[in-house]
Amino acid sequence: MHILAISGSLRAGSTNTSLLRAAAELAPTTVTITLYDGLDDIPAFSPERDKENKTESINKLRTLLQEADAVLFCTPEYIHSMPGILKNMLDWLASSGEFVDKPVGVISAGPSDTGGSRAHAALSYTLAILTAQLPEKASLIVPFVKTKLDASGHVTDSVLSQQLRDVLDALVQAVQLKKQPA
């Protein structure tokens, strides 16, 4: 099973990216998690660009999403919403259907007690509009994230490690249910 992981942060030392790396380490042996690293290469969205000349970065992203059994996002919160670069990426995907009925997990993490809850809500809402399948247990908000990671970005909190495993288990179950004959 293949899960594509997408961080909403471009920062080199991003706690959100660290959480996705931790999830990859905690994943069952039957699951491969690939961290998408092309978010910064996506041009500003315009419907004309989507129709006329799709860029290599958009074609690559669409292919990665089509090949993935599930997707796992982890995003910070910027100005009470998801980062603009993440929203821009989703705008590119609105008409192409990569998220239709695709199991998707949503994690937000932040330094405050809200853990990026507004970004979490905005991202979840946008993914629902794109008709992604959002399993309830594949959702996680991580408050005070910096207290749960060491200086290298490794998870030091056993509760958070278990929560990440639970998110992955929910995604795996959603994929397995989707693959069962009707």
**Do the Cβ atoms of 172 and 28 come closer than 8 Å?**
yes
Homologous superfamily (CATH) of 2-179 is: Flavodoxin domain (3.40.50.360)
Q: Which two tokens stand for residue 164?
A: 């990440």
Q: Which two tokens stand for residue 100?
A: 């239709």
Residue 112 phi, psi (nearest 5): -100, 180
pLDDT value for 79: 93
Model confidence, pTM: 0.95
Pinpoint the alpha helices (H) of 130-157.
Answer: none
- Return the domain boundaries, the chain: 2-179
pLDDT value for 12: 87
pLDDT value for 46: 85
Residues of the chain with pLDDT under 70: 52-53, 182
Give one DSSP letter per residue of the chain, joined into a string. Answer: -EEEEEES---TT-HHHHHHHHHHHHS-TT-EEEE---GGGPPPP-HHHHHH---HHHHHHHHHHHH-SEEEEEE--BTTB--HHHHHHHHHHTTT-TTTT-BEEEEEE-SSTTTTHHHHHHHHHHHHHTT-B--GGGEEEETTGGGGB-TTS-B--HHHHHHHHHHHHHHHHHHHHHHS--
CA 2 – CA 63 distance, rounded (Å)? 13
